[in-house]
Amino acid sequence: MTTPVVRITNPRSDVSVIGTYLELMKLRIVELLLVTTLPAMVAAAGGWPGWRLVAATLIGGTLSAAGANAINQAIDADIDGVMSRTRRRPLPTGRVSAAAVVVFGSSLGLAGFLWLWATTNLLAAILSAAGLLFYVFVYSLLLKRHTTQNIVIGGAAGSVPALVGWAAVTGSVALPAWIMFAIVFFWTPPHFWALAIRYRDDYARAGVPMLPVVVGEERALRHMLAYTVVLVGTTLLLYPTGVVGWVYLVTASLAGAFFLGATWWLRSRPDAAMSYFGYSNVYLTIISVAVVADVLILG
């Protein structure tokens, strides 16, 4: 009589593998997707667009963004391995191979495209896929290691969810959507340059030409102030389009004045770069909540 062979799976090992792939996805992006996608959807609908459509769009956007994040980590494995901030990621620690990560990321991107096409519309799916491709090929492969403008131009990828949200509701992209795209676009440089100031030595050691590394903190802070001025002005451009009213205008004006003050203050306190980095997230959230609240309250 033959004794059957029973394969015993180590639950902790399985959990570790799942955790590794979840880490590659950087699921904290869901917060940023909420902040950039949801306001565009509410503004496009002139009210609440419906839970089904919101959920479908956020799921598709999460799949696409997670795919881009995973592929980016495969490209940047050598950089991540020498930076203290990133050396514990899955690839530098050898928990997964670069080939497996590329397959995983590509699969997520394809799933995001198909999901958005099936549950929203083709334009939203194409825009989301374009954001992934721009992030991988333009930012990660072409810009990141070769120009101080890497995060400026590359920021377009992170701005795409605003267009996706608008397209998911209307099947088109209108001027207010482009303004919301521009808000995130101009927000990105001061946000990430603050991080680059804090981890300037890391980026220098990895050979990544982030602006504070190449031109120094003082000049980088002047650039941050200039972008903040443009950012605050751009947020106010949403009011004349008619999709938002006085609630948004007042909130954006006050939050913008405070953010400008914070950027000016940072010039004398560059050691507080991470506090500024955290507040920049709060600022973008305030702008987004103001859009949603204005549309839902004033209709």
DSSP, collapsed to helix, strand or coil, labels residue 91 as coil
Which CATH number does the domain housing residue 46 bear? 1.10.600
Q: What is the rounded CA–CA span in Å between residue 168 and residue 139?
A: 25
What pLDDT, on a 0 to 100 scale, did the predictor assign at position 8? 34
Q: What is the rounded CA–CA span in Å between residue 36 and residue 164?
A: 10
Crossing angle of the two packed helices 98-119 and 51-75, in degrees rounded to 10: 160
Task: Give the angle subtended at the CA of 131 by the CAs of 130 and 137, to the nearest 5°.
Answer: 80
What pLDDT, on a 0 to 100 scale, did the predictor assign at position 34? 84
Name the strand (E) or helix (H) holding 272. Answer: none
Helices (H), the chain: 11-25, 29-45, 51-75, 77-82, 98-119, 122-133, 150-170, 175-198, 200-206, 211-215, 217-236, 246-266, 273-298
The answer as to whether 10 is a domain residue is no
Q: Is the dihedral of CA 173, 177, 183, 184 positive or negative?
A: negative
What pLDDT, on a 0 to 100 scale, did the predictor assign at position 27? 86
The answer as to whether 3 is a domain residue is no
The answer as to whether 4 is a domain residue is no
Q: Is the dihedral of CA 269, 228, 291, 63 positive or negative?
A: negative
Q: Which of 224, 197, 222 is nearest to 210 (CA)?
A: 197
The answer as to whether 142 is a domain residue is yes
The answer as to whether 124 is a domain residue is yes
Give the residue numbers spanning the domain of 195.
20-298
CB distance 148 to 214 below 8 Å: yes
Crossing angle of the two packed helices 51-75 and 150-170, in degrees rounded to 10: 150
Give Cβ neighbours of residue 261 (< 8 Å, ≥ 6 apart).
Answer: none
What pLDDT, on a 0 to 100 scale, did the predictor assign at position 219? 96
* Structure tokens given for 256: 């913008």
The answer as to whether 1 is a domain residue is no
- Our count of domains for the chain comes to 1
Rg over alpha carbons for the chain, rounded to the nearest Å, is 21
Q: How many CB atoms lie within 10 A of CB 152?
A: 19
What pLDDT, on a 0 to 100 scale, did the predictor assign at position 15? 53
CB distance 57 to 165 below 8 Å: yes
CB distance 105 to 70 below 8 Å: yes
Task: Give the angle subtended at the CA of 6 by the CAs of 4 and 12, to the nearest 5°.
Answer: 180
Q: pTM of the predicted model, to two decimals?
A: 0.93
pLDDT tens by residue, the chain, 299 residues: 443 333 333 444 555 889 999 999 988 877 888 899 999 999 999 999 999 999 999 999 999 999 999 999 999 999 999 999 899 999 999 999 999 999 999 999 999 999 999 999 999 999 999 999 999 999 999 999 999 999 999 999 999 999 999 999 999 999 999 999 999 999 999 999 999 999 999 999 999 999 999 999 999 999 999 999 999 999 999 999 999 999 999 999 999 999 999 999 999 999 999 999 999 999 999 999 999 999 999 87
Q: What is the rounded CA–CA span in Å between residue 19 and residue 281?
A: 26
The answer as to whether 175 is a domain residue is yes
The answer as to whether 13 is a domain residue is no
Q: What is the rounded CA–CA span in Å between residue 22 and residue 195?
A: 23
